[in-house]
Chains A and B, each alone.
Chain A
Amino acid sequence: MMYLIAILIAILVFVIVVQIGKVNELAARLRGEEKAEHDGNEWNARMMLVFLVGFLAFAVGTSVYYYPYMLGYGPNILPTIHGPQIMQLFNITLFFTGIVFVITHILLFWFAYRYRNSKDRVAEFIPHDNKLEIIWTAIPAVVMAILVVFGLVAWNDAMSDVDADGEALGYVKVGTGDVENGTKNYIEIGATGLQFNWILRHPGRDGLLGTKNWQLITGSNQLGQDFKDSKNIDDIILDELVLPKGHTVRARISSRDVLHNFDIPHFFVKMDAIPGMPTYFKFTPTMTTEEYRDHLSQFPEWQVPADPEEPDGPQRWEAFNFELACAELCGKGHYSMRKIVRVVTEEEYNAWLDQAESTSFYLNEIRGTDDDPFLSRPTLQIEKRIREREAKKAKPAPSDVPAPTPGDTPAPEGQPLEGGETGSIQPLNSGTVGTSTTTTTVGNAVQSTVNSATITGTNVVNSATEAVQTGVNTAINAVNNAANSATNAVNNAVETTKEAASSAADKAGDAIDKAKDKAGEVKDNLLNNPK
């Protein structure tokens, strides 16, 4: 029934339109073709002016109306370092294009009106003017050159990668965040797009993201993290992205299936996510979410209830969050890939990281299972830290062991043993909590290969000697660190070489004895000859 009416309406419209046309044509003929044409021209010419005024008013009016909505204008200041630089470029461009827009439109519609048809005129024969051509070729060329220069500077700044000698951090050093220039050290977070969500990964305290392999993806291991790589041990899968203000963040962006795009509008962060080819975007947040909310709270349009159906609920500015979206069509759920980005102060971030550490995927899902590549290691660094933290919470009195200060970058759990630089087994009473652990793990080390043990042994001598040379306190610290590193080194030895057990055991035993002796000598020297 509805469709019948629709068809009838369509026919009616058709007839009306045709009649309008015919009636006007007839009227024109009655009035006299020439007069009708003249009237028509006059009308259209006047409409040109009306349109000009209306259009410019519309353009200006809508800019004013939408001013509070646009990022970079009004309340929407840009909380990253590169954002305002890009906005400046935008405004310069707007300046030039705005001038051209207004002038050309005025000329276009004014000329259309001014030179409307008149029987007593013949148009002027002005076929060209070369001087004018040169002028209006040169001026746009110069303006474009200006825009290019500003543009390329802003572009190369924004797209640059982190410094070659920058270091990937987990914890940040409080008070080192530079909201104007970022920091040399950076936090690398992993963002993997998939249909239809983001998997956000924090590298944990070692600041390093572990390797992943798409062929290892399972229902529970959504990223395909390869847990043989110890950098994965402390990696945390995030529900929302937590970042510290003032610190450079490097997003390592990839995709599991099709193209996505990592887009945080307020930060002016945007980069395609490509399967099999990680891309990056480096940025530095300059305001925390709280600070941004405070800023927004000054504006009346943000002081309304966030949910119109809950007038007593939080106001818009209170409910504000930076959001992560997908900006490359990825299928039918493209519009729904939302994650929240929270910027916090350095202290809050470190505190958060402490808490978040214990949610590491590896610890919760893999540790202790048959798939655990580190099954043979009784305690990992991260477990130690968590235990200490829990102990501190249960017993708030300060313990003998200094809690690891956020300022340290602990030797990365996953640091591979390269050229034997950090290996030093310090099995003696070096006074660290980890001694017994070290001894047990040294026992485990008996199973490692000849090479590692020998190298380690040699390195023990080297490092210990160095330690002596830097003075007593430093030496004790170095010994502490060496103990940790030894644990690491030994762990790595276990992890990388699982074969050749028996011969390794013998030779390892020898080396360790030698090391013990040498280290014992050194310590004796130290205690006897403080420098």
Chain B
Amino acid sequence: MADLKHNDGLLVEEYADYLYDGFHDHHHGDKYQTGFISHYIFSMDHKMIAKQFLITGMFWGLIGGLMSLVFRLQLGFPEASMAWLKPLLGKWITISEATGVGTLDPQFYYALVTMHGTILVFFVLTAGLSGTFSNLLIPLQLGARDMASPFMNMLSYWFFFLAGAVMFASLFLNTGPFSGGWTAYPPLSALPQASSGSAGGMTLWILSLVLFVVSVLLGGINYITTVLNLRTKGMSLWRMPLTIWAFFVTAILGLLSFPVLASGFFLVMCDRGLNTSFFLNEIYVGGQALEQVGGSPILYQHLFWFLGHPEVYIIILPAMGLVSEVLAVNARKPIFGYHAMVYSIMAIGFLSFIVWAHHMFMAGVNPFISNIFVIFTLIIAVPSAVKVFNWISTLYGGNIRFNPGMLFAIGFVSLFISGGLTGIFLGNSAIDIPMHDTYFVVAHFHIVMGVAAFFGMFAGVYHWFPKMYGRFMNDTLGKIHFWGTMIGAYAVFWPMHYIGMAGVPRRYYSFSTFDFSNQFAATNEFITIAAIITFGFQVIFVINFFYSIFYGKKQTTRNPYGATTLEWTTAINPGHGNWPGGIPAVHRWAYDYGKMGEEFIPQVEPVSEKEKEFDEAHPH
């Protein structure tokens, strides 16, 4: 079987071991979803659904990114005229009669900030990241034909699409899109009198997110069930690649935390429409004393952050999983400490449920309770640190290939270190007193979510592009994209730490009202310019992506990276059912790189006698 490891063009029956599941006995394989609509639009094939998630996610990423450029223009060049944006933004740019200078309406500034957060956190980094890669990789890496319920999978995408459509519609309302921050704290979000964005815009925002929650639940239930029930023969949990572990734990987190968000939103809707007072108490607004009494805004914050915190781990865990895989494949070394990595993922997942109130240290919560949350928050730093050390050790002694996926994976580690370390400052409640709601927090979460998680996503896209489209993305453009973004992202977000340490609060339309913030004009200019340039590099990525779908270098071998995992045993364009015959069975874990001098040993290859002796001498 010496050739097995090259497994080019081998039919699956030539594998030593396979799982026969009678899938292809049903002849629907010939006519299955061949029409245009059923193949491209309402597809139930997980690979197509993955691509749908990805492209929709990219669309929203561009929109969210463009929004950030608009409000960065306001911050970087407050005196400059935005009149040229009037054709796009209409009534939200007021042009002074006297000077012809166009200014951005502060109300819309806040709407942009809100939408930027909502779109990027939910649509791009949750749906676009987990949705894409869970769908693509779970069946392929586990040796399954498709998800447990392809129909529910399709519904999961279309609910996401619908959620996006509703959110898109809200951008064009006369009263404006929702503008109370992606966190949507009542009373601001519950009272249309307090902000015009809290009128129709908020209603649509909630509707959109409720649909989104449905999408996440449908997807999550599917992923968990597939991981539990549809692994191929020999694929025990401890042989799954780290990507799958990450998606699995992520799906559990989503399943348990999104419903609480939904419940919080339902209660806000009642407060908005039915005059209830779940979150409202003793308010005088719009010239009127409201009747609502007895509610608690802090209750909303608890319900929101019970999701809000696991949400950020829902974002970062898949990115971590992708990075682990890409690092191992391209360093030609096993991921260091596989078991420790799995336990870390589980620890992070579990701990993420008990740290939520570290977002509420200054919310008026009893300080005694905050003590508990400090302890757990700093504990969660430990498994994260373990993961970082393991990634670095994966590189040690490796034989590293710098394709774009690998570059982004290495970049991810750097960004996760930088962003994660500032989290340790913020998690300590006393330090949160000066730092809460300042640019220090903005720097922290952007580096960790806005850059690191994106890098994980990019690594995944570059690496698995051949699996999706049978072609490669352009290497050179990938390198340009990487270095440009790496340098640019640090240039944009690093200075924000210092602005935050000067006490400048976040979500400020203008820095000029206060003396202590007025000193950062040059910094803001610098950040804005860096942001525009960095966004330009993302455009290169988008062009590269779409161009390569049609004209990229064709994939000629099944396993171009020499990877061990199952997805590279399928044909170059795997059809419905992924494997033409039976499904290959698995005999080993996913990380036999460089073992006994072999460059790599695929998971499907059975263990030889010599290897058994080696294993006994080196237990793992």
Contacts and interface: CB of A to CB of B under 8 A. Distances in A.
B418 A101 contact: yes
Nearest to B395: A111
A528 to B, nearest CB: 60
A270 to B, nearest CB: 5
A409 B379 CA distance: 50
A290 to B, nearest CB: 16
A443 interface: no
Contacts of B417: 100-101, 104-105, 108
Contacts of A73: 501
B334 A327 contact: no
Interface stretch (A130-138, A164-172, A183-191, A458-466): A130-138
**How many residues of B sit at the interface, in one of the four size bands?**
35 or more
A144 interface: yes
A338 B513 CA distance: 7
Interface in B512-530: 513-516, 519-520
A47 B407 CA distance: 11
A51 B331 contact: no
B410 interface: yes
Interface string A236-269: 0000000000000000000011110101011011
A76, A111, A121, A215: most-surrounded residue (chain B CB, <10 A): A111
Given A104-B388, A108-B392, A257 B187 contact: yes
A270 B338 contact: no
Interface in B465-517: 474-477, 479-480, 483, 486-487, 490, 494-495, 498-499, 501-505, 507-510, 513-516
A188 B595 CA distance: 71
Given A89-B428, A277-B296, A127 B620 contact: yes
Interface stretch (B4-12, B539-547, B575-583): B539-547
A156 B367 contact: yes
Contacts of A3: 87
Contacts, number: 374
A72 B505 CA distance: 16
A47 B483 contact: yes
Contact of B289 (A41, A63, A72, A217): A217
A212 to B, nearest CB: 10
Contact of A117 (B396, B401, B595, B620): B401
Interface in B383-411: 385-386, 388-393, 395-402, 407, 410
B374 A155 contact: yes
A269 B433 CA distance: 7
A445 to B, nearest CB: 36
B285 A123 contact: no
Contact of B374 (A151, A328, A331, A338): A151
A128 B339 contact: yes
Contact of B378 (A117, A148, A332): A148
B312 interface: no
B123 interface: no
B65 interface: no
A31 interface: no
Contacts of A30: none
A148 to B, nearest CB: 5
A333 B106 contact: yes
Contact of B364 (A112, A125, A277): A277
A76, A129, A256, A327: most-surrounded residue (chain B CB, <10 A): A327
B23 interface: no
28 contacts: A63-B498, A66-B498, A69-B520, A73-B501, A97-B425, A107-B392, A108-B392, A108-B395, A108-B410, A115-B399, A122-B399, A123-B398, A127-B338, A132-B389, A140-B385, A144-B382, A151-B378, A159-B370, A195-B285, A215-B289, A261-B362, A272-B362, A277-B298, A321-B515, A325-B505, A329-B185, A331-B110, A332-B509
Q: 7 nearest interchain CB pairs?
A: A265-B503, A276-B281, A276-B282, A24-B476, A66-B498, A44-B402, A124-B397
Interface of B: 84, 87, 105-107, 109-110, 179-181, 185-188, 191, 194-195, 280-285, 289, 293, 295-298, 331-334, 336-340, 362-364, 367, 370-371, 374-375, 378-379, 381-382, 385-386, 388-393, 395-402, 407, 410, 413-414, 417-418, 421-422, 424-425, 428-431, 433-434, 436-438, 474-477, 479-480, 483, 486-487, 490, 494-495, 498-499, 501-505, 507-510, 513-516, 519-520, 539-540, 543-544, 547, 553, 591, 593-599, 620
